Amino acid sequence: MKQFTIICIGLIFITCSGTKSTSESSKKTITTVIDKTPETVIDSTLTNKPTIIVDSVKTAENNTKQTPSTPTQSNPPSNLHSAWDTLLQKHVTLAGNVNYDGFKTDKKLLNNYIKSLQAIYATNEFSNFSKNQKLAFWINAYNAFTIDLILRNYPVKSIKDIKNPWDERLWKLGEKWYNLNDIEHNILRKMDEPRIHFAIVCASISCPKLQNQAFNASNLGSQLTSATKQFLTDISKNQISANTLKLSKIFKWFSKDFKTNDSDLIDFLNKYSQVKIAPNASKSYLDYNWNLNE
Identify the band that residue 35 occupies on the pLDDT scale cut at 50, 70 and 90: very low
Judge residue 90's burial from the number of C-beta atoms within 10 Å of its C-beta, 0-12 exposed, 13-18 middle, 19 or more buried.
Answer: middle
Q: Given this model, what pLDDT does residue 76 score?
A: 62
- Written as one string, the DSSP assignment of 16-81 is HHHHHHHHHHHHHHHHHHHHS-EEEE--HHHHSS---EEEHHHHHHHHHHHS----------TTTT
The top-scoring range by mean pLDDT among 8-17, 74-83, 179-188 is: 179-188
Identify the band that residue 208 occupies on the pLDDT scale cut at 50, 70 and 90: very high
pLDDT one-digit tens code per residue, 90-138:
999 999 999 999 999 999 999 999 999 999 999 989 999 999 999 999 9
Contact (Cβ atoms closer than 8 angstroms) between residue 142 and residue 180: yes
3-class secondary structure, 161: helix
Identify the band that residue 50 occupies on the pLDDT scale cut at 50, 70 and 90: very low
Q: What is the pTM of this model?
A: 0.75
Contact (Cβ atoms closer than 8 angstroms) between residue 66 and residue 59: no
Give the percent of the chain with pLDDT over 90: 73
Tell how strand 176-178 and strand 171-173 pair up. antiparallel
Q: Any alpha helices (H) in 201-293, and if so which ranges?
A: 220-233, 250-253, 265-272
Q: Which of 228, 262, 270, 271 is nearest to 245 (CA)?
A: 270
Q: Given this model, what pLDDT does residue 29 score?
A: 42
Taken as a whole, the chain contains a residue count of 294
Q: Given this model, what pLDDT does residue 79 score?
A: 87
